[in-house]
């Protein structure tokens, strides 16, 4: 097992979508699909099961840093709901989907720092998923 990276290093590498261990290999194969192994250093990235954590933190961040300030814009309250609601939903969807890869990368980087890995021993239910 490779050594755990420092907290800030793992977090910043994850935010950039890079392997938390080497910082060179890409963490994601596609939009949110994590590479099973780092293409640069070969570390097993699949052992960090992020599950619903990134979605939870993305909603937390968007809810507090985007939705709350949005409520201070008078147009949100005074504009016609038939316009405000679709515009707000499209905007919030775009912001949420753009934050998600960064948050997932940072989450996996934090898991690498904590060495929070899935139990991959034979017979464990995580291997069957
Ligand atoms: Zn790597």
Any domain includes 124: no
- pLDDT, average across residues 75-98: 94
How many A from CA of 93 to the centre of ligand 1?
31
Provide the residues around ligand 1 (an ion) whose CB is within 5 A.
19, 21-22, 25, 38, 40-41
Can you list the positions of beta strands (E) in the chain? none
What pLDDT shows up at residue 3? 78
pLDDT tier at 120 (50, 70, 90 boundaries)? Answer: low
In a domain, 126, yes or no: no
What is the mean predicted confidence (pLDDT) over 59-72?
91
Residue 111 included in any domain = yes
The mean pLDDT value for 56-81 works out to: 92
DSSP code for 42: -
As a whole number, the mean pLDDT across the chain is 90
State how many domains the chain has: 1
Domain holding 95, by residue range, is 7-119
Q: Which of 77, 105, 119 is nearest to 19 (CA)?
A: 105
Q: Which secondary structure element, helix H or strand E, spans residue 13, and what is its range?
A: helix 7-15
User: How far away, in angstroms, is 125 Cα from ligand 1 center?
Assistant: 26
pLDDT digits (tens, 9 = 90+) for 69-83: 988 999 998 999 999
Q: Is residue 129 part of a domain?
A: no
- Cα–ligand 1 centroid distance for 120 (angstroms): 20
d(CA 106, CA 54): 9
Residue 1 counted as domain residue: no
pLDDT tens digits, one per residue of 12-45: 999 999 999 999 999 999 999 999 999 999 999 9
Q: Is residue 48 part of a domain?
A: yes
Query: Which two three-digit tokens encode residue 80?
Result: 């016609």
**Which pLDDT score, from 0 to 100, does residue 88 have?**
92
Domain assignment present for residue 128? The answer is no
Q: How far apart are CA 129 and CA 74, in angstroms?
A: 48
């Amino acid at each position: 097992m490779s050594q755990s990276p420092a907290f800030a290093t793992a977090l910043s590498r994850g935010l950039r979508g890079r392997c938390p261990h080497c910082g060179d290999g890409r963490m994601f194969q596609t939009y949110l699909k994590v590479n099973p192994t780092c293409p640069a250093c070969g570390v097993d990235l699949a052992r960090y099961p992020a599950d619903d954590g990134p979605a939870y933190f993305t909603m937390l961040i968007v809810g507090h840093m985007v939705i709350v300030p949005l409520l201070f814009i008078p147009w949100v309250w005074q504009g016609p709901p038939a316009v405000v609601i679709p515009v707000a939903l499209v905007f919030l969807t775009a912001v949420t989907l753009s934050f998600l890869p960064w948050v997932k990368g940072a989450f996996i980087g934090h898991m690498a720092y904590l060495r929070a890995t899935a139990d991959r021993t034979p017979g464990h239910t995580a291997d069957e998923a």
